[in-house]
Amino acid sequence: MALDLDYFRKQLEEEKTRLEGELSTIAHRNPDAPEDWTVSQPDMNVMPAAKEEVADVEEELENAASVEYNLESRLRDINEVLEKMRQGKYGVCAVGGELIDEARLRANPAAITCVKHAK
């Protein structure tokens, strides 16, 4: 039974759009590498002399960097899987070469391994 590629493509494209939207609230695309995102400096209108306020900005930046890293990592996974789809390699385990179970792909359309080879 063949996979419904249109269904999975739609799921992946929707997640890609959502991730890019979330990223755009805390980061911006790197003009030199458009696939890379850079955390935007939070606008907290702080006085440089106020150590507590500076610490708050640094903490906010660290939190945004952590979120940005996770979102960008997932977006990279989505883009890689969309490329596999274009190459006709979607749904094939990257480790063993066997087909990935449809239930696994429905749970995570960006899965690149079968359950047996999942990390």
Per-residue pLDDT of the chain in tens (119 residues, 90 and over written 9): 578 999 999 999 999 999 999 999 988 888 888 788 888 765 556 556 667 766 776 777 788 888 899 999 999 999 999 999 999 999 999 999 999 999 999 999 999 999 999 97
Show the domains of the chain with their CATH numbers. Answer: 5-107 (1.20.120.910)
Tokens 């990257």 belong to which residue?
A: 94
32-47: string of b/e by CB count within 10 Å (b at 16+)? eeeeebebeebeeeee
Residue 53 CA neighbour count, 13 Å, CB half:
8
